[in-house]
Amino acid sequence: MEKQNLPVVVVGAGPVGLAAAAHLVERGIEPLVLEAGASAATAVRDWAHVRLFSPWAEVIDPAAEKLLAPTGWVRPDGTTYPTGGDWAERYLQPLADVLGDKVRYGAMVTGVARAGRDRTVDSGREEQPFTVHIATADGGEERITARAVIDASGTWSVPSPMGANGIPALGENKTADHVAYRVPDLKDPAVRARYAGKRTAVVGSGASAFTALALLADLAGEETDTHAVWILRRGIGDATYGGGEADQLPARGALGLRAKAAVEKGHASAVTGFRTEAVERDGDRLVLLAEDGRRLDPVDEVIVLTGFRPDLSFLSELRLGLDERLQAPIALAPLIDPNVHSCGTVYPHGVKELSHPEQDVYLVGMKSYGRAPTFLAMTGYEQVRSITAALAGDHEAAGRVELTLPETGVCGGAGLFDEPDAAQSDEGGGCCAAPATLQIGTVSPAAYGGC
């Protein structure tokens, strides 16, 4: 009983972490959200300039909306498309404000373990609560005791490297002053000056790469010496640019067409089958070398957009059951394998698929998908609905599927998410189709898609 009175610690005050807290409150369970940043949605704010492909109607959690409604919060027009900044300012931060002291900022989680038990000890393990170790913004250290842990910290902090084998290319770290791992905000004068009139390599084949190519093409229209070199590990086929005009998410299809236009108009040149092995300096410029011995002409900058991966370091004393390829929960991995599935064919899932050998520990949101590029925000909302029901002892609700994603729409080689390339693989992961209907409990069906 004493253990049951402890809070459930939620790691990360992003979209899925805050949704988890809202569902816990709805269930009468005390949450404590630990956010390393100084405000809610720190990672989302990093891509504030990027517009989602999903309209507002599809990125607001139902339990969160119930908390916000009595405060006078005005729900944005469901048919319009927010930027990351809009999402943070008009929904996520207000939600965190309603949760009040249930959200703690400047608290970076550095370790999670069973109280008094490292991962090798069996005796009395499940009876022990969790100790969550945090580093505070003022340089201090604390330990928090919890009955359960929901890790919604995402993957944004660990971008995948340029090297085709998943390890940084030779020289990649030493040339970091000319290498970026995010879509550039060209409205920022300092960022604009970095790429204007320059030759920039863009490594990757997903939504973020499309966005970067489109932005650099726009810049080339103003700064004629601006040129992008698009590095793809595979060739260019019919599905490379996504669904185009046939895409059920018009904004997503339009982005693929903009990237295609950038190549056709000569603002970007595509280099296919290029698997980067090394980066060398050539004066103030960089030269990329491939595994097959090819050397590209020098570039001024490199933008690496090959996806992200989960940080599992602070969970090392827990007994996690993770797939050896995707680093996703073992029961979930076959359902999200990008070699088989797109977003539209991922079966809605919950506590059963997200459980680990370590009881009452859950990875949710983008982190639960490991390296798979098929995650959608509403899938994360369904995850935490199921998990919080289980923690409340409502096993019927926990096992019930309240999210329906029929397979439909146009699928291609680029993965799209409700976070830009949250785990997008340059190998061309599954696309996020726009299902015909979304059904959540008794809520009326609505169109649904990815960012």
Per-residue pLDDT of the chain (451 residues; tens, 9 = 90+): 488 899 999 999 999 999 999 999 999 999 999 999 999 999 999 999 998 877 898 899 999 999 999 999 999 999 999 999 999 999 999 999 999 999 999 999 999 999 999 999 999 999 999 999 999 999 999 999 999 999 999 999 999 999 999 999 999 999 999 999 999 999 999 999 999 999 999 999 888 899 999 999 999 988 889 999 999 998 887 777 766 666 555 666 778 889 999 999 999 999 999 999 999 999 999 999 999 999 999 999 999 999 999 999 999 999 999 999 999 999 999 988 877 755 556 677 899 999 999 999 999 999 999 998 778 888 999 999 999 999 999 999 999 988 755 343 333 322 333 344 433 333 333 333 333 222 333 222 222 223 3
Q: b/e for 100-122, b at 16 or more Cβ within 10 A? A: eebbbbbbbbebbbbeebeeeee
CB 41 within 8 A of CB 13: yes
Instruction: Compute φ and ψ for 5, nearest 5 degrees.
Output: -85, -5
User: Which stretch of DSSP H or E encloses residue 143?
Assistant: strand 141-146
Q: At which residue do the structure tokens 């250290």 appear?
A: 141
Q: Is 12 helix (H, G, I), strand (E, B) or coil?
A: coil
Residue 442 has a pLDDT of: 25
CB 264 within 8 A of CB 236: no
Closest CA to 240 of 418, 431, 409, 408: 431
Residue 147 has a pLDDT of: 98
CB 306 within 8 A of CB 424: yes
Claim: this prediction has a pTM higher than 0.75: yes
Please give the C-alpha separations between residue 298 and each of 201, 202, 287, 288, 295, in angstroms, as whole numbers: 9, 13, 5, 8, 9
Spell out the domains of the chain, with CATH numbers in brackets.
Answer: 3-157+308-399 (3.50.50.60), 176-304 (3.50.50.60)
